[in-house]
Amino acid sequence: MLAPYLIGLVGLVLFPAAVTLALAFTEYDLVNPPSWAGLANVSELVTDPVFRVALTNSLVFALVAVPLRVLLALGLALLLHRRSFGARPARVAALLPTAVPEIAYGLLWLWLFNPLYGPINQLLRVGGENGLTVLGRTPPQWLTDPTDARAAIILMSVFTMGETFVVLLAARRALPADVYEVAALEDATGWDVFRRVTLPLMAPVLALLVVRDLIASLHFSFVPALVVTDGGPPPYATTYLSLFIYRTGFEYLRYGYAAAATLVMMLLTVAAVVVQWRLFRRYRAFYRL
Amino acid sequence: MGGRAGGPPPLSGRIGQIWRALGALFVLLVFVPPLLLLVSGSLTEPGLPPSPTPRLIPDPVSTAGYRQALAVGGVLRAALNSLLVAVVAVPLSVLVAALAGFALARLRPRAAALVVVASLAALMVPATALLVPRFTIFRALGLTDTLVPLIAPALLGTSPLYVLVYYLAFRALPRDLYDACLVEDMTPMGIWWRVALPLVRPVTAAITALTFVLTWSNFLDPLIYVYDRDLFTLPLALRSLSVLDPTNFPVFLAGAVLATGPAVLVFGLVQRRFFHHDDQTGRNRP
């Protein structure tokens, strides 16, 4: 009964991972059979400025977007975990962007961010003159200015934190009520309750979610960068590791080189998984798993 | 929904309630407009100069974007392909996940733990990290430019997460039940199909819906495996619409609405389960 799944697990994940390892040391362009290249790919990666930019972009993206996503999800979970007026539709609304197909979501923002007729800049120009905002500044050039483009990708990805939100919502609801009753008896302020009760109790879940999101960020920057900013504006402002791999492999047909870059991505993933495993072990006793 | 059991006593009573309601309103104001704009943008007349002020309801309301999207982009054909993939992949995927989850629940703990750890590891791997190796494998098998690579993830249960969810659901069933079935001389297959599966029907409903959403929205796989226009799925057709004319936004937004519709609809049908899944004990039910 387990067989189909095991075939899938081995054939679609474990074996491909092994193939990456082998492919990373070859030259392969689909036409000619792979030829052994030794460490040529690796040494080229080390000196490749584009790869370095892509790696930096990916890391910066993860370090900015992931905290924002988790903080937003936490805020929403704490705000909406109880029954109150409008909480139910608000919960659904917060989850909706996650349900929209990636590509449709990307196209939506491609339009929203358009500097001329995109709604965001139209809104920013309300009350201003000559295409300036009320404060007399030029509105952000989302698709042509490197910093604004990076901000745009981050903004897009912040909206899709639905999964994290659902998990945190469940985690918050699973907290014991009596702790809060004691806190109320002691006249604790809302901030105290958050800092001394809620946060410590949710810390394990939060830590695991942060690591998970860090890994996922390697992936969820791909479609926005491909569709909305096309890896630009020059030079490679929003070329992330995932886009670099895609371009190298599927556009420049350098599969061996792309595999070497993939290897770097997998190493990052493994590092994160190790961190996660250690966290899990530490909290295991806590959760009596 | 939330119930009193899990929540703290109301922070300063009425005032807290009002703040929470305002907060909820704010959340709605931030998260809903982008999706409304998606619909409103798709109903704009293509080719008109942009209006100087932002407006939620386009003037004039026009369905020309939809007509052009259907005419130019082969959107209809692509939608059929997407449907075909979903019809094959979704039942297969749910079947694989349910079988695997059941097998895991019945396996010796050590063997089960091994598969669970492997599943968790597979869950962690970013999808883009598997693009190149999977592609070379499918290429070697001569399966690129067919719909097979788009259906293949069903063997993984689409996401190993769903296998784990089934595992937890089947493990939560009382052990006596399985013992009773064994006394009745039922085969494992029989227990799975006639006893266990009917008991986790809500789980199956939720997982079927989520599998559909993931399969329907899959953009990455078609992007690398399919080049023949006749095999394009809807997400890929959308991409080609936007590449064709990136300035003609009503057309590609119309396509985006068509692709989003089924996903959001199915998602809406099951969303309540996400907010209830900590309620299995019933203690939090109002």
What pLDDT does residue B117 have? Answer: 85
**Average model confidence (pLDDT) for chain B?**
81
Cβ–Cβ < 8 Å for A255, A249: yes
- Find chain A residues with C-beta within 8 A of B137's C-beta: 11, 15-16, 19
Residue pair A211/A282 in contact by the 8 Å Cβ criterion: no
What pLDDT does A253 receive?
A: 87
- The pLDDT of B257-286, averaged and rounded, is 67
Q: Any idea of the CA torsion for A214, A218, A224, A229, to the nearest 10 degrees?
A: 110
B223 lies in a domain? yes
Paired with A35 in beta bridges are: A27
Nearest to A170 among B97, B153, B278 (CB): B278
Is the pLDDT reported for residue B2 higher than 50?
no
Which candidate from A83, A175, A223 shows the least CB-CB separation from B2? A83
Q: What is the pLDDT of residue B172?
A: 84
Distance CA(B18)–CA(B126), nearest Å, equals 42
**Cα A160 to Cα A96, B31, B286, distances in angstroms:** 8, 10, 30
Residue B57 lies in a domain: no
Q: Which two tokens stand for residue B203?
A: 């789980």
The interface residues of chain B toward chain A in range 55-94, judged by CB-CB distance below 8 A, are none
Q: Looking at CA atoms only, how far is residue A272 from chain B in angstroms?
A: 9
Whole-number Å distance between alpha carbons of B209 and B201: 12
- CA dist A212 → A255, A270, A277, B16 (Å): 27, 11, 11, 33
| Contact assignment for B133 to A23 by CB distance below 8 Å | yes
Return phi, psi of residue B9, to 5°: -60, 145
pLDDT at position B132 over 90: no
In Å, how far are B44, B206, B232, B262, B278 from B209, measured between CA atoms?
31, 5, 23, 11, 19
Give a yes or no: residue B177 inside a domain: yes
Tell me what percent of the residues of chain A surpass a pLDDT of 70. Answer: 96
Higher pLDDT, B2 or B167: B167
Domain that holds residue B113: 84-233
Q: pLDDT tens for residues A81-126?
A: 887 788 888 888 888 888 889 899 988 888 888 877 788 887 887 7
pLDDT on residue A71: 93
Q: What is the predicted pLDDT for the residue at B83?
A: 92
Please, which pLDDT band fits residue A284 given cuts at 50, 70 and 90? low
Answer whether residue B169 shows pLDDT above 80: yes
How many residues are present in chain B? 286
Residues of B64-91 as b/e, b for ≥16 C-beta within 10 angstroms? bbbebbbebbbbebbbebbeebbebbbe
**For the segment B39-71, what is each residue's pLDDT rounded down to a tens digit?**
888 888 777 766 666 667 777 777 778 888 887
pLDDT of the residue at B9: 47
The Cα–Cα gap between B92 and A220 comes to: 26
A270-286 CB burial, b ≥16 within 10 A, e <16: eebbebbeebbeeeeee
pLDDT of residue B82: 92
**pLDDT score of B50:** 65
Q: State the pLDDT confidence band at B5, using cuts at 50, 70 and 90.
A: very low
Residue B128 has pLDDT above 90, yes or no: no
Whole-angstrom distance, CA of residue A39 vs CA of residue A49:
18
- Compute the distance between CA of residue A120 and CA of residue B54 in angstroms, rounded to an integer: 8
Task: State the pLDDT confidence band at A131, using cuts at 50, 70 and 90.
Answer: low
Q: Measured between alpha carbons, how far is A281 from A56 in angstroms, rounded to an integer?
A: 30
B180 inside domain: yes
Q: State the average pLDDT for chain A.
A: 84
Give yes or no for a contact between B5 and B278, defined as CB atoms under 8 angstroms apart. no
Could you tell me what percent of chain B has a pLDDT over 90? 9
pLDDT of residue B251: 85
Alpha-carbon distance values, B22 to A96, A97, B35 (Å): 20, 21, 21
* A interface test, pick of B28, B128, B161 with most A CB neighbours within 10 Å: B128
A225 interfaces chain B, CB cutoff of 8 Å: no
Quick one: A3-287 is in which CATH superfamily?
MetI-like (1.10.3720.10)
- Confirm whether B66 is domain-assigned: no
> B177 in contact with A at a CB cutoff of 8 Å?
no
Any domain includes B78: no
Query: How many CB pairs lie under 8 A apart between chains A and B?
Result: 305
CATH number at residue B123: 1.10.3720.10
Instruction: Please name every residue paired with B44 in a beta bridge, in sequence order, or none if there are none.
Output: B61
Q: How confident is the model at residue B283 (pLDDT cuts 50, 70, 90)?
A: very low
B88 confidence band (pLDDT: 50, 70, 90)? very high
Among the listed residues A193, A188, A214, the one whose alpha carbon sits nearest the alpha carbon of residue A275: A214
All residues at 6 or more sequence positions from A261 whose CB lies less than 8 Å from its CB, including other chains: A45, A51, A54, A241, A244, A245, A248
What secondary structure letter does DSSP report for B57? S
Is residue B35 a part of any domain in this protein? no
Q: What is the pLDDT of residues A205-264, one digit of tens each?
A: 888 888 888 888 888 888 888 888 887 787 788 888 889 989 888 888 888 888 888 888
Cβ pair A218, A62 in contact under 8 A: yes
Q: Return the pLDDT at A272.
A: 84
* Residues A121, A143: Cα–Cα separation, whole Å: 12
pLDDT at A155 over 70: yes
Coil, helix or strand for A81?
coil
Task: Note whether A169 contacts B277, CB cutoff 8 Å.
Answer: no
Backbone angles phi, psi at A135, to 5 degrees: -80, 5
Give the residue, A132 or B89, on which the prediction is more confident: B89
pLDDT of residue B239: 87
Residue ranges covered by each domain of chain A: 3-287
Instruction: Kindly tell me if the per-residue pLDDT of A9 is higher than 80.
Output: yes
**3-state DSSP call for residue A35?**
strand
Residues of chain B in contact with residue A223, where contact means CB-CB under 8 angstroms, are 219-220
Structural domain includes residue B108? yes
Distance of CA A237 to the CA centre of its chain: 17
Closest by Cβ to A174, choosing from B34, B54, B278: B278
**pLDDT-derived band at B175, boundaries 50, 70, 90:** confident
